[in-house]
Structure 1
Amino acid sequence: MRRSSILLGVLALLLTPSLPGTAHAQSRGSLTQAISALKSEFAEKSSVLFSQKTHDGFGSDVVALTVAHGKHRFAAKVGVYASDVTDTFTTGDMPTNFRMINVGRDSYTQGTWTKIPEGKKWLHWRDADGFLWSQNLVDALNPKFLQLISSGAEKTSARDRYDGVPTIRYDGSVKVGSLGSRQAGIYYGPRDGRSVGGRIKWKLWLGPDNLPRRFQTEIVSDSYGPEREVDIVRMNVLYKGWGTPVHIVAPSKNLVAEDD
């Protein structure tokens, strides 16, 4: 899978390795209720807190680790309308810190790699696709992704607690025609002739309200050639505090520099 951190060369965000499951699939289940629950949160302009880890590498070799945490605010039909995310990206022994605030179509970034004019603390980007949440992300907050994986979802016997509530786990796997990444996350799509596809293996834990409490996935890209190891991204996301009031605003203008 081709990975490029659009704009500033930071590898896509967040997330941990897949954990071996012990539960056996009992029956096929539907994620329709989860989709409806998410859309209701969007309509209510609700919010959620999250923490996330990503291991990115080839085969069993981990090349990069990203640890992130933050908060999202929703809007009807749009989904994630605003977010405030802090992450640390590590490759070898070189950690890179990064923070990004998105409000609508505006993104504000800062990090140890960023060249910001003296007296300023943020760079402003308008309509930067690489930074904005979108509806083709491999993301448990994306109803379109949940719809994609719904037909193959299998309800398991696992009964774990996350965010202080009992959960029901669904497992599955889906093949997609193309994969890629940007700062906002891993994205998928139909075969486009430019990038390779792959298989998305996933586990999703839903609370009594049918909202996600944990999402775990292993994204295995198709091989670029017979001598190339496949690219594997392993992600683990925990969600908590659904409906907790969050305050996400753009930084003060006097602290912001425009990207040239």
Structure 2
Amino acid sequence: MRRLIALTATALLAPALALAASATAHAAPKPTAAGPADALRQQLVKRTTVRIDERNEFRLGKTALRYRETGVVRFGRSGPDAGDTKLTISSGASKSTGHIIALGGKVYVKSPVYDDALPAGKTWVRFTGPARTTLLVDVLRPRTLGALVAHTKSKAPGGTVNGARTTLLRGAITLGELAKVSPDGGLRGLSGKEKKIAVPWKLWVGGDQLPRRFQAAVVLPGPAPLGDLKLSSDARYAGWGGHVAIQAPPADLVVDQKDLETDEDLPEARPDLITTITGRAAAKS
């Protein structure tokens, strides 16, 4: 299963890369910030948590790789700095699951895909990395959220999402504009033509201006006969303002990635949309 998921992901992405709380508010609370980015910054200052349910899909022709991440993310001074989430990656009939804890610059992963490489008595693999892999549009980062909202084209009642009445914002932002606010600069390798590609989006915000749901999609031109690479996201957020404790796994159950008993390349903890796009640009240059 471990190699099957890795090979499935490679088969889907390699051609394109080579070429190119339940909610606590049942009624809308009074606005407490000038806009979504300001409201999010207040959460960073308070070091609160939010529950996430994020679904992403890579599609190349009839082949799709889907992953879903659910759990809790904690905020630090500049953005998410810790998390405790469950991950499911699937492609066709193949499926892999994992438990991810991110804390203190380390990412701990527990998944069957690593079982064959683990020493006796160890169940977690420790990587060095950020608390959160950069998504195409990560609305949990104030700078990105602010840039997004600045491109709002329409507002309308958004109905109830996770128990909160919402306003639905719609707009579009280009990959070039996203590159300017990408926290790791991951989109800087795009060509001039790719920078102009539009990313349509929808954002549902509650009366407190905090995101409750977000959708975005982008189509990256690919070579014939493979067709275009389509990336899409649909995320929901609830339980804003929580203070959930996030703890690293017991030290005696953890092994560092470099100490794994294998000579094979193991898959990363999460697929990364930014790496996908950057890889296309780098391969073409």
Give TM-score scaled by structure 2 length.
Answer: 0.70
Which range moves more in the overlay, 152-161 or 133-142? 133-142
Give unmatched runs, 5+ long, in structure 1.
1-7, 12-30, 181-185
Number of residues of Structure 1 aligned to a counterpart in Structure 2: 223
Equivalent residues of 2:158, 2:204 under 8 A apart? no
Aligned to 1:21: none
Aligned to 1:96: 96
Letter in 1 for 2:99: R
Q: Cα offset for 1:227?
A: 4.5
- Residues 117-173 of structure 1: CA distance to partner in whole angstroms, max 9, x if unpaired? 1101101112x3xx5426775111111212322332123223311121110011111
Aligned to 2:73: 72
Give unmatched runs, 5+ long, in structure 2.
1-5, 10-32, 259-285
Instruction: Please give the secondary structure, in 1, of the residue aligned with 2:96.
Output: strand
Give TM-score scaled by structure 1 length.
Answer: 0.76
Matches within 5 A, 1:198-209: 198-209=197-208
Instruction: Please give the secondary structure, in 2, of the residue aligned with 1:109.
Output: strand
Aligned to 2:86: 86
Equivalent residues of 1:81, 1:103 under 8 A apart? yes
Does 2:121 correspond to 1:119?
A: yes
Aligned to 2:55: 53
Match of 2:248 among 238, 247, 250: 250
Matches within 5 A, 1:23-38: 33-38=35-40
Q: In structure 1, how many angstroms separate the alpha carbons of the residues matched to 2:39 and 2:231?
A: 28
* Runs of 4+ with >3 A deviation: 8-11, 134-137, 177-180, 190-193, 195-198, 224-228
State, as a whole percentage, how many aligned pairs show the same letter. 24
Q: In structure 1, how many angstroms separate the alpha carbons of the residues matched to 2:138 and 2:206?
A: 17
Aligned to 1:139: 138
Structure number with the higher helix fraction is 2
Aligned to 1:229: 227
Residue 200 to residue 155, structure 1, CA distance change in 2 (3 Å): same
Residue 44 to residue 179, structure 1, CA distance change in 2 (3 Å): closer
Letter in 2 for 1:64: L
Q: Cα offset for 1:92?
A: 1.5
Equivalent residues of 2:154, 2:171 under 8 A apart? no
Letter in 1 for 2:102: N
Q: What RMSD in Å do the two structures reach over aligned CA positions? A: 3.0
Matches within 5 A, 1:158-177: 158-177=157-176
Residue 111 to residue 187, structure 1, CA distance change in 2 (3 Å): farther
